[in-house]
Amino acid sequence: MASDDEEMEINKEDIEDDTDDESKGDDDDNDNDDDSTSEDSPDEQIDDSKQETELVAHRDIVQSNPYNYQAYIDYINLARQYGNLEHLRFARQKMSEMFPLTQQLWLDWIRDEMQLLISNTEENKELIQLFERALNDYLSVMIWIEYVQYRLPYYVSLNSIEELRNLFERGLSSCALHITEGNLLWAAYIETEKAILDGILLKYNQNNTNNNDLKEKILQHVDYILTLYRRQLSIPLRGMDTIYYKDYNEFCQQYKEYLPTNYIEKYDLILKNDFDHAIQQLEKCEKFEQELDATKRSVATYRKYIQFEKEPARIQCLYERAIVDNCLDGVLWLSYIDFAEEHLSSTTILQSIFERSLRNCPWVATLWVRYTEYMELTTNTDHSQLKKIYDRALNSDPTNLISFVDIQLAYFQYRRRHYHQELLLLNNQEQCELLKEEIRHICEYACDQYQELFLSSNDPNLFLKYNGQLELYWIHLEIKSFHSIEHARQIWNGRTLMNKTHNQMISNLWKIYYYMEINYGDEKHARKVLYRALNHIQTMDYPLIICDILLEHEKKYGTIQQLKETKDKLRQIKNKIVQIEKPKRQQQQQQQQQQFNKNNKKQINKGKQKEPKEKSTKVSNNKMDTTASSVQSNGNITEQQQQSPRKRKLSPEETQNVKKKPQASTIDSEGFKIPLPPPPPPSLASSSTSSSMISTTKDIDHLNTVFIANLAFDTTEDAIRQVLSSAGEIKEIRLVKHEWSGKSKGYGYVDFVTSEGYRQALKLDRTPINDRPMYVSEYDRNKSTSNDLTKKFKYATTLEQNKLFISNLPFSLTKEQLQNLFIEKGFKIKDVRLVTHKSGKSKGLAYVEFNDPQEASQAILKFDGTDVDGHTIKVAISNPPQHKQPIKLAPTTQPVVSRAASLGEAPKSTGPRGKGHSQISLVPRKIATTNTKPTSQSTSTTTNTMTNDDFRKMLFSKK
């Protein structure tokens, strides 16, 4: 058989000729440079100094802020522009240490370094290391092709075809399944093998003898290339039909005399079967590839693509492609790690995925926790290396509160495991005590650092949510691992509760402290904890929890006398809790009442007429009110009555009653007073004079007030202010709260300084706060007497040709995602509204408004019946069903007619005399029967009454 030297001889000669030509060209260039060189002019020296100064300034920026990605890009571009190799290499090296580089950055770096090479046939270890680093960052077919082209002359010079094939096989293991770009690497591999085959054929033909060794080598090489074609055409790749019908068939025709004898059975039929199967798979994959192009390679589309694929190798390739396009998505990296742990057995690959994920998303605490646990479990990482990894994790994003707590807790847990391992190995008690003190020092430093970094956090609720978690785990270590109840008490008394006022208001911390004493301490210390908690009961978030625990404690452990004293004490405390906010509320109520009375007094002094009240239909003693004003049949007051002044002035008692009358409607069902609405403006004035008078007598305090509702009970005033401050300057926020607990009822009032802020705030209706839509509406001055049926529906109830109604949407779809869905198709959207429950969760319905009806019609044709995250959506013109017309309750003198029972309504349960079961009728059946006749439509409201004598005479006359 022919040796490798004979096999690659021709290729070697060709490459040597090329290198000779290049060296001659370089010599010519050097001669020209020598002829043209001269001393630099003073202007050129000044320019060089300016360039150096500018490059040094960029270098200082990079060194002062090593996490500024754009600063590295600017530094590299400036160094390339000035041709300064020293600065260029420094910038690229520092950037690659801090960030993974993109394909283009690596290619620019590699090509710049390749231009500086003296010879391509010599091995440059630094450049090879550069290629390996580039291949480790992201999946890149182009870098692999560049790598193979660089190594090809070197392998030819060594006549090492096996090493060249090994390099190609490495590239195929990474990129062979890449549907869109994989064919490039396959083509490079096959063309290289064809070039080698042509060299062997040329050598064979030049000998003009039957060299059996060369012929055998040709047959083997043809067989190898056929195997490559079979492997390539069994994979779904773009352009594979051209490869099969053109390249593969041409190769078979060109080398048909060297094809194996059983070629049809061994290759052709099997290859055709694999090719047909791959084509079918490609047609299915093309749908996802087109969707990737349409959605700008979003993570959601990649997820659907991954769920479609079944083979782990293809799924891994898809994950690598998804990471290239969405490298900063921490959830995507975690999903990739989950897949790798389940399907990839190589620890080297999994560790590489972990390290790459942390270079891309160092702020994701879960990645650090998973990485440290993996290193601790599956590798022989010693204690010092794990400590360095945790130090890197804590310095990755030190300003993130959640990441800080999660990583610190993971470190505490690791130190606990390490302590128990060392406890089994160490027999020296002193070393164990030193290890305990080291862990205590770590816990103390972490707790102090938490307070220093996040005490002035912009989100106080988040601070309180995670506050105490580190100390609670420290307490857990003292009790469970170190068996020291005294140290645990010192942490509770010296750090967690006594030195932090905000912790003293958290009833759950007192509860945990109490149960720790019950389980690991003694009953006396537990009782002391509860009595200490009672000292802060007035500022505690859930004070009744402590009261209940104390009562249960005395029932289990106390004497009868202690139980009685506890009940008396708790009774007094509960009374204080209920009354704790009454003075503040009463003071606020008095101020609003004074303002309300002041406005009423102005109206009365100006002779402003009140709106007539509905008259009662009951008239006693058979007398009619002859002083009553005449009322028209439609219930409106006559024009003469509007213009006539009041005949008499109101007495002081009547004036006082008028002022106090709205007070009855300001008490809610729980006995708490709510803010009084301003007086309703009279609706009877028809002239411009009376209208202007009304506008001047409105309550100024509530002109710019909006009503907010559907709030989560834990929503704070700061959260509301953060959302509504964009509308305008806020004067006051008043959340309605329970008096006994101080917890919000979920609604309140917001006063704005200007009317413009009031109008802008109404536009913020249904803005989400704590994942719930906040309802913003006008302040309803007649809310206590208004009817829900008279409220106007906010949205249109008729056909809207420029608005689409979309149903069957995924519940997880957000407004932004739906909006992007239309924008990516080229539609211009005016507004998008998701229909949600009061909890903020989507109903799967939405309205999309366009600028013109024609565009809306085109959107129906485009989107109706399409698939969105597994849901087939329905799109139609918005045409909601007609809403029931509100019932107008106009004042009238005609008797009220009972409404007809609605469809499906159960009949009202009545007793034997037409009354309810809970009512007693004192009227005899005879009288009750005669009064059941329908009354006439007379305007008279008088009825004939019977005296006792009349009733007695009628009763005896029946006998």
Q: Residue 942 — φ and ψ, nearest 5°?
A: -90, 150
* Residue-level pLDDT at 690: 36
Across 87-101, 120-134, 335-349, 429-443, least confident range:
120-134
Please give the Cα distance from 483 to 478 (Å, whole number): 6
Interval 46-59: pLDDT, tens: 677 888 999 999 99
Please give the Cα distance from 292 to 304 (Å, whole number): 10
Given the structure tokens 């009825």, which residue do they identify? 943
Q: Is pLDDT above 80 for 240?
A: yes
Q: Residue 467 — φ and ψ, nearest 5°?
A: -65, 135
CA angle 72, 73, 78 (to 5 degrees): 100
Q: Is pLDDT above 80 for 731?
A: yes
The tokens for 880 are 């909601």
Q: Is pLDDT above 90 for 956?
A: no
Is pLDDT larger for residue 172 or for residue 799? Answer: 172
Q: How far is CA 287 from CA 233, 302, 309, 320, 861, in A?
A: 20, 12, 13, 19, 19
Mean pLDDT across the chain: 77
Can you tell me the mean pLDDT for 67-85? 91
Q: Is pLDDT above 60 for 153?
A: yes
Can you tell me the mean pLDDT for 306-332? 93
Find the length of the chain: 959
Q: What is the DSSP string of 758-770?
A: HHHHHTTTTEEET
**How much of the chain, in percent, has pLDDT values that exceed 70?**
71
Is-contact 711 747, C-beta < 8 A?
A: yes
* Residue-level pLDDT at 771: 78
Q: Which residues contact 953 (CB under 8 A, 6 or more apart)?
A: none
Is pLDDT larger for residue 740 or for residue 117? Answer: 117
**Identity of residue 898:** S
Residue of 129, 68, 116, 64 lying closest to 88 (CA atoms)? 116
Q: Is pLDDT above 50 for 635?
A: no
506, 507, 512, 517: CA torsion to nearest 10: 120
Residue of 434, 173, 449 lying closest to 320 (CA atoms)? 173
Residue of 398, 500, 506 lying closest to 446 (CA atoms)? 398
What three-state secondary structure class fits 600? helix
DSSP code, position 545: H
* Residue-level pLDDT at 582: 58
What's the burial of 93, exposed, middle or buried (CB within 10 Å: 0-12/13-18/19+)? Answer: exposed
The tokens for 774 are 């906040």
Query: Cα dihedral sign for 38, 41, 45, 47?
Result: negative
Residue of 785, 713, 721, 715 lying closest to 751 (CA atoms)? 721
* Residue-level pLDDT at 631: 34
- Give the pLDDT band of residue 214 (cuts 50, 70, 90): confident
The tokens for 854 are 């024609």
Q: What is the DSSP string of 405-453?
A: HHHHHHHHHHHHHHHHHHHHH---HHHHHHHHHHHHHHHHHHHHHHHHH
The tokens for 413 are 């847990």
What three-state secondary structure class fits 298? coil
What's the burial of 464, exposed, middle or buried (CB within 10 Å: 0-12/13-18/19+)? Answer: middle
Three-state DSSP string of 109-123: HHHHHHCCCCCCCCC
Across 106-115, 380-389, 684-693, 899-908, least confident range:
684-693
Interval 259-299: pLDDT, tens: 887 777 777 888 889 999 999 999 999 999 999 999 999 99
The pairing of beta strand 874-878 with beta strand 867-868: unpaired
Is pLDDT larger for residue 13 or for residue 226? Answer: 226
Q: Which residues contact 777 (CB under 8 A, 6 or more apart)?
A: 706, 707, 709, 762, 765
* Residue-level pLDDT at 493: 86
Q: Is pLDDT above 80 for 228?
A: yes
What three-state secondary structure class fits 236? coil
Is pLDDT larger for residue 924 or for residue 429? Answer: 429
- Give the pLDDT band of residue 605 (cuts 50, 70, 90): low
Please give the Cα distance from 672 to 779 (Å, whole number): 20
Given the structure tokens 């834990």, which residue do they identify? 714
Please give the Cα distance from 810 to 872 (Å, whole number): 9
Given the structure tokens 């010192």, which residue do they identify? 490
**Identity of residue 356:** R
**How much of the chain, in percent, has pLDDT values that exceed 90?**
33
Q: Is pLDDT above 80 for 893?
A: no
The whole model's pTM is what?
Answer: 0.57
Q: Residue 458 — φ and ψ, nearest 5°?
A: -70, -20
* Residue-level pLDDT at 188: 94
* Residue-level pLDDT at 661: 41
Quickly count: other Cβ atoms within 10 Å of residue 65's Cβ.
9
Q: Which residues contact 190 (CB under 8 A, 6 or more apart)?
A: 225, 228, 229, 232, 247
Please give the Cα distance from 195 to 8 (Å, whole number): 9
Q: How far is CA 276 from CA 93, 241, 271, in A?
A: 48, 10, 9
Is pLDDT larger for residue 281 or for residue 589? Answer: 281
Is pLDDT larger for residue 912 or for residue 556? Answer: 556
Interval 478-514: pLDDT, tens: 999 999 999 999 988 887 776 667 788 888 889 999 9
Interval 810-852: pLDDT, tens: 888 888 888 888 888 888 888 888 888 877 778 888 989 888 8
* Residue-level pLDDT at 121: 66
Is-contact 457 401, C-beta < 8 A?
A: yes
* Residue-level pLDDT at 288: 94
Interval 841-860: pLDDT, tens: 788 889 898 888 878 877 88
DSSP code, position 454: H
Candidate ranges 232-246, 650-664, 855-869, 918-932; pick with highest mean pLDDT? 232-246
Residue 899: its H or E element: none
What three-state secondary structure class fits 656? helix
The pairing of beta strand 744-752 with beta strand 730-737: antiparallel
Q: Residue 937 — φ and ψ, nearest 5°?
A: -90, 30
| Cross-strand bridge partners of residue 847 | 805, 833
What's the start-to-end Cα distance of the chain, in Å?
142
* Residue-level pLDDT at 375: 92
Q: Is pLDDT above 90 for 234?
A: yes
Q: Is pLDDT above 70 for 675?
A: no
- Give the pLDDT band of residue 158 (cuts 50, 70, 90): confident
Q: What is the DSSP string of 702-755?
A: GTTEEEEE---TT--HHHHHHHHTTTS-EEEEEEEE-TTT--EEEEEEEEESSH
Query: Cα dihedral sign for 812, 815, 819, 820?
Result: negative
* Residue-level pLDDT at 924: 52
What's the burial of 481, exposed, middle or buried (CB within 10 Å: 0-12/13-18/19+)? Answer: middle
- Give the pLDDT band of residue 94 (cuts 50, 70, 90): very high
Across 14-28, 118-132, 356-370, 510-524, least confident range:
14-28
Strand order in the sheet with 829-836: 829-836, 842-850, 800-807, 874-878
Is-contact 586 749, C-beta < 8 A?
A: no
Is-contact 735 717, C-beta < 8 A?
A: yes
Residue 52: its H or E element: helix 42-64
Across 265-269, 405-409, 591-595, 651-655, least confident range:
651-655
Residue of 663, 645, 769 lying closest to 709 (CA atoms)? 769
Residue of 463, 437, 447 lying closest to 408 (CA atoms)? 447
Q: Is pLDDT above 60 for 677?
A: no
Q: Is pLDDT above 60 for 700?
A: no
Is-contact 27 221, C-beta < 8 A?
A: no
Separation of CA 539 from chain center: 33
698, 701, 705, 707: CA torsion to nearest 10: -100
Q: How far is CA 357 from CA 67, 318, 768, 896, in A?
A: 16, 16, 32, 75
What three-state secondary structure class fits 802? strand
Q: Is pLDDT above 80 for 151?
A: yes
**Identity of residue 882:** Q
* Residue-level pLDDT at 936: 40
The tokens for 697 are 């007598």
